Amino acid sequence: MPSWIRFRFDNGDTALINADEAYFLFRLEEKQIEVYAMITPPGQDVVTQPICVFPCEFSDQVAAAEEMIFDAVGKEHSLTINLDVLEEHAEFLNHVTGVKMVLQLLHQGNIRIPLEEGLSDLEMFEPDENQARTEICHFEEMLFTYLDVPNDVLRRAVLSQDVDTPFNVDRDHEECDDHGYHQYWIVTTRPDRNYTFRKKFDDLVKTLIEKEGLSWQGPGD
């Protein structure tokens, strides 16, 4: 049974693709999905022009489309794609990635976070307008999003040396022949703390625990 992929454009136009007779290119940098016919039309040696180009607003929408299309084809299902659907699924995939990372921390008891060199501790958490957010700042936001912890949970541990923070944060480094000398943060859980996920992520957390085997000691366990 063929899988039919319907692309619905913002102007109301649609393109219906038989996934068994086409191949897809998911171009993250160009933020678009290109569809090519698998069967060469008469008079052509090779297929050079796509039969459909679906533009996206963000690269993570392209990644979401790739996951959705391959899942539909694998299950022999049909699928309708538009920007709203892709945005919703991209947000879901971002949550999957974030919850996995937090579960990894709770499961292992620690996690490494890349440390950008040449910045003070304050600049790590308060970048100027022209500076990209640091990895530790991004991870702090992730912890606040998924766990019931303060929004400055890592900043307090680093800047104020607060001994009552839910996590310990230390610096470390390593040297290797391939990459040379580099530093990283080590975020560590504390044995005297219970960590609770925010309620709205309970179902996703349970699913990932069962799928990934990332068990952890929750409150009351």
Q: Looking at residue 10, what is its pLDDT?
A: 94
203 CB contacts (<8 Å, ≥6 apart)? none
pLDDT per residue as tens digits for the range 83-141 = 999 999 999 999 999 999 999 999 999 999 999 888 888 889 887 777 788 999 999 99
Q: Looking at residue 79, what is its pLDDT?
A: 96
- Residue pair 108/156 in contact (Cβ under 8 Å)? The answer is no
Sole residue written with tokens 């308060």: 126
Sole residue written with tokens 């998924």: 146
**What does the domain layout of the chain look like in residue ranges?**
4-81, 95-209
- Residue pair 116/75 in contact (Cβ under 8 Å)? The answer is no
Tell me the three state secondary structure of residue 36: strand
Please give the Cα distance from 7 to 51 (Å, whole number): 12
C-alpha closest to that of 25 among 58, 76, 59, 66? 66
pLDDT per residue as tens digits for the range 73-92 = 999 999 999 999 999 999 99
> What value does the mean pLDDT take over residues 18-30?
95
CA of 196: how far to CAs of 67, 143, 200, in Å?
A: 29, 11, 12
CATH topology of domain 4-81: PH-domain like (2.30.29)
For the entire predicted model, the pTM comes to 0.82
